[in-house]
Chains A and B, each alone.
Chain A
Amino acid sequence: MDGLAAGPGCGEAPVLRERGHREVFCGLTGIIWLHRKIQDAFFLVVGSRTCAHLLQSAAGVMIFAEPRFATAIIDERDLAGMSDANDELDRVVTRLIERRPDIRMLFLVGSCPSEVIKLDLSRAAQRLSKQFSPAVRVLNYSGSGIETTFTQGEDACLAALVPEMPAEPGSARSLLVVGALAEVVEDQFLRLFAALGVGPVRFLPSRRAAELPAVGEGTRMLLAQPFLAETARLLEARGAQRLAAPFPLGAEGTTAWLRAAARAWGVDDATFDAVVAPGQARARAAISQRAERLAGKSIFFFPDSQLEIPLARFLARECGMVLTEVGTPYLHRQHLAEELALLPAGTMLSEGQHVDRQLDRCRAAQPDLTVCGLGLANPLEAEGLTTKWAIELVFTPIQGFEQAGDLAELFARPLVRRARLMV
């Protein structure tokens, strides 16, 4: 790793693999942020009342005048015969499109029930696409719990977009940044790439479904998120080459991530240093204010989003935190190779979950801060452990130099709060 003082790292470290009660979200939850990112898309889950209930429990605290997702709830009659189910789906989609004529792209999102009864949503999407063409494009992906965990829903959604992307003519060189980012973060990266002379730069997903970026032999991609295994695979199949890099969290991660693109574009070191120096300095200054609070504190990660390893790397190296256990729902060795190399040697890694056993380990470790889902957070707080709920890390702008301080702040705040409350 150029420019980074990597120790022995965790590249070859053994990983504890467990199975049992897993306290995680299914991929349907990705809809909660994807519907805001792709503004002219609609997400129709084909599933059970449980799926509908999950979505509204997660998003229902916002009061929607016009929600951009819904569920086609399978009932007994659909379970009786398959052809019926397809007619029913057509009827539901027609009713939906009549109600929302502004929709440009409709995702049919598969769920556990639709996967188990093997309802062929990809054929349904093709059929409906033909019917509603050219006004509405209909695609499908699976967000089922049996196949996807939380952020893997975004991976499945973006993977469904890859075949829709236009082909880049010839071998024109472009940079594709993959993974939903906050708009403000996208704009910051655009300015940095422009200053480096790296471009043209495109983003997947785009803000509008109809404006998908082109891809081809000249495409170099930077993954902005660690959970994009399938999307990256399909993009590589279309000629794109992944630029290996750690993820753009913290001053160090962002620098290395930008450097990977600068290298590919042949930007010389002096130019690179001059462009990134101001942002880097601001990031370091912002982090140092919070690092006082975090240094020496121990942290335990329950699995949630696959962001755990990059976050642990940032908190250990830039904030001085002590890692106890870093759990992840799924560990993609190749995409995380650069991250693993930077983790302190001897870090305990776990993949998958048996929640009761993991809770036993957490209680035994008594970490200063526990990163976990909302099903565990309040119960652990009541036991006296300080927690940081993990889902917020997916909903908050945390990537890039300007957000590095905010990212540290997300972990410092629960500790500050615990110290402050006197009742």
Chain B
Amino acid sequence: MELAVWTYEGPPHVGAMRIATAMEGVHYVLHAPQGDTYADLLFTMIERRSKRPPVTYTSFQARDLGGDTAELFMEAARDAYARFKPQAMLVGASCTAELIQDDPGGLAKTLGLPVPVVPLELPSYQKKENWGAAETFYRLVRACAGPRLPRAEGAAPRANILGPTALGFRHRDDVAEVTRLLGRLGIAVNVVAPMGASPADLAQLGAADVNVVLYPETAGAAAAFLQRQHGIPATKIVPIGVGATRDFIAEVAGLVGVDASGLLAEAASRLPWYSRSVDSTYLTGKRVFVFGDATHAVAAARIAAEELGFAVVGLGTYTREYAREVREAAKAHGIEALVTDDYLKVEEAIAALRPELVLGTQMERHIAKRLGIPCAVISAPVHVQDFPARYSPQMGFEGANVIFDTWVHPLMMGLEEHLLGMFREDFEFGDGAAPSHLGHAPAPAPAPVAAGPAAWAAEAESELKKIPFFVRGKARRNTETFARERGLATITLETLYDAKAHFSR
């Protein structure tokens, strides 16, 4: 049993729903108890979709358990086919139905439906949402993809865009941005899937020269299958950040044999200039903690270090499937990756590191609130405000512009930060007040860091309070480490400044 205050991912059948809902002409019959329809709200409310997800639930109740729940499932599947006439049907079980073992796949086969029926085996007590999405997409691609078709003489090269789903963080706009990039390289888009694709479209996947994998978490398995089975190469670089976008352009151009030098020569994003302009100098060395799915966390760490000049002090992911990639990235920043889906472990790590900015998920916003640290969202899980109406990609050159604005926004602006370092008793812009451009009441005082063995002398304690709020936690921690390493019983004014000198080297 695992204590979950918050969970980073839903159960795997929600991943399957993300595929079904993203597509057209697919219906999902889910054996599930009454109440599991809450998942519809993720799509109708968080993502604000205007159609019901194409999911029929059996909604069994306690009184059905004594009877024939298998018959209930058959009836629901028959009804769903008759009513919705899909091109392909997914059948599976949610966590509770998995326990009663009715075998939806086997049952659906006996119905003899005239369309492909794809049974989903999604082990709810081992696997999670992204795995469920990847597995479902892979099963559908396996069932539907046709043979590889060679490109006609003189035709433009074609690419599939794989990975965007329903309920994906900025998937809608990332697809638009990457489509634009490919267009400028002279590469046509063959099929975007699962988002907007039908089973008939999946049959056309073989007509592409390359698979552009935007989200390895959801499309990795399907792309590997298409490479293995049909010999279609897949991209490895995800174009989030200016550097990664340039690398992606070079990679995809190389795979299909087009010239990318024109596009690469352009200064297509405003991030580099914004980041070089002197207003950004104060961003140098800001200590950031990065957490999210593997793709977004790795991309964010690179942007933070190479494009904004931050110091990455923590990097982690809840995506165990891509832990190796995150560990390698962390090594490049000289830190140890945190691979966990335990929210409390992430909270502990952030509390111990005391960063000045947290780049994370909706869950890290809870932690940041508790600790009074500025925070920006870079990855799912996210809530309704991160499915915005405006164009907000993370990928490509416009994505980099969006990222610059989003990440810098929660930080104290430069002038305010300077004045706070000099005068901390102002009644309005006082110590610990939230940045005034955010228009909030003062942030809560940060929870005290676990006290070291050394006691603080009153004089040192009051000196500590003169250090600006957002770096005070780190100063306290460093001083206590310094005292502990030297076996000092009391922290004096001298110790504080000795520690400052020691750590500033």
By a beta-carbon cutoff of 8 Å, the part of chain A in contact with chain B is 19-29, 46, 48-50, 52-54, 56-58, 60-61, 63-67, 70-76, 78-79, 85, 88-89, 91-92, 95-96, 99, 112-113, 115-117, 144-147, 149, 356, 373-379, 381-382
Contacts and interface: CB of A to CB of B under 8 A. Distances in A.
Contacts of A72: 1-4
B484 interface: no
A156 to B, nearest CB: 13
Contact of B95 (A22, A48, A61, A70): A48
Q: Which 4 A-B pairs have the closest CB atoms?
A: A145-B35, A26-B35, A375-B40, A382-B50
Interface in B366-399: 366, 369-370, 381, 383-384
A147 B99 contact: no
Given A50-B14, A53-B39, A379-B44, 8 more contacts: A19-B59, A21-B58, A23-B40, A70-B3, A72-B2, A74-B125, A92-B1, A381-B50
19 contacts: A23-B37, A48-B95, A50-B94, A50-B96, A52-B7, A53-B11, A60-B362, A63-B366, A76-B126, A85-B1, A91-B1, A112-B33, A112-B35, A112-B95, A113-B95, A116-B96, A116-B100, A146-B33, A374-B44
Contacts of B370: 65-66
A147 B64 CA distance: 11
Interface in B99-136: 99-100, 124-126, 128
A50 B36 contact: yes
Interface string B132-168: 0000000000000000000000000000000000000
Given A22-B59, A54-B38, A149-B34, A378 B48 contact: yes
B33 A145 contact: yes
B42 to A, nearest CB: 6
Contacts of B48: 378
A57 B52 contact: no
A22 to B, nearest CB: 4
B185 interface: no
B125 A92 contact: no
Contacts of B10: 49-50, 53, 57
Given A63-B366, A76-B126, A379 B34 contact: no
A63 B361 CA distance: 12
B135 to A, nearest CB: 16
B49 interface: yes
Contact of A25 (B35, B58, B64, B79): B35
Contact of B42 (A57, A63, A79): A57
B334 interface: no
B5 A50 contact: no
Nearest to B128: A49
Interface string B11-31: 101100000000000000000
A20 B50 contact: no
A116 B99 contact: yes
A24 B49 CA distance: 18
Interface residues of B, number: 61
Given A75-B125, A115-B62, A95 B3 contact: yes
Contacts of B362: 60
Contacts of B52: 375-376, 379
Interface string B427-468: 000000000000000001000000000000000000000000
A64 B347 CA distance: 13
A70 B5 CA distance: 4
Interface of B: 1-7, 9-11, 13-14, 33-42, 44-46, 48-52, 56-62, 64-65, 76, 79, 83, 94-96, 99-100, 124-126, 128, 344, 362, 365-366, 369-370, 381, 383-384, 444
Contacts of A56: 6-7, 381
A306 to B, nearest CB: 14
Contacts of B61: 145-147
A117 B37 contact: no
Contact of A70 (B4, B13, B35, B40): B4
A60 B8 CA distance: 11
Contacts of B3: 70-73, 92, 95-96
A365 B324 CA distance: 57
A204 B485 CA distance: 56
Given A28-B35, A375-B37, A378-B49, A65 B444 contact: yes
B95 A374 contact: no
A49 B366 contact: no
Interface of chain B: mostly helix, strand, loop or mixed: mixed
Contacts of B5: 67, 70
B7 A22 contact: no
Nearest to A360: B83
Contacts of A21: 37, 56-59, 76
B126 A75 contact: yes
Contacts of B365: 63
Contacts of A24: 34-35, 37
Given A25-B38, A112-B33, A379-B44, A75 B1 contact: yes
B56 A75 contact: no
A291 to B, nearest CB: 30
A382 B37 CA distance: 20
B125 A146 contact: no
Contacts of B62: 115, 144, 146-147
Nearest to A87: B1
A381 to B, nearest CB: 7
A373 B5 CA distance: 26
A86 to B, nearest CB: 10
A50 B60 contact: no
Nearest to B367: A65
A121 to B, nearest CB: 12
A42 B344 CA distance: 17
A29 B57 CA distance: 19
B247 to A, nearest CB: 35
A139 to B, nearest CB: 19
A89 B383 contact: no
Contacts of A373: 41
Contacts of B2: 72-73, 75, 92
A22 B33 CA distance: 9
Contact of B83 (A25, A85, A356): A356
Give the interface centre of B35, B38, B48, B59 by most chain A CB atoms within 10 Å.
B35
B124 A50 contact: yes
Contacts of B1: 46, 72-75, 78, 85, 88-89, 91-92
A303 to B, nearest CB: 11
A113 B370 CA distance: 32
Contacts of B381: 56, 60
A293 B290 CA distance: 52
A49 B7 contact: yes
Contacts of B96: 48, 50, 112-113, 116, 145-146
A64 B10 CA distance: 19
A147 B34 CA distance: 9
Contacts of B4: 49, 52, 70-73
B44 A377 contact: yes
Given A53-B14, A144-B33, A375-B40, A61 B383 contact: yes
A396 to B, nearest CB: 17
A146 B63 CA distance: 8
Contacts of A27: 35
A378 B1 CA distance: 37
Given A53-B11, A73-B4, A377-B44, A20 B76 contact: yes
Contacts of B57: 21-22
Given A116-B65, A116-B100, A58 B59 contact: no
B34 to A, nearest CB: 4
A149 to B, nearest CB: 7
B44 A375 contact: yes
Contacts of A382: 50-51
Contacts of A147: 61-62
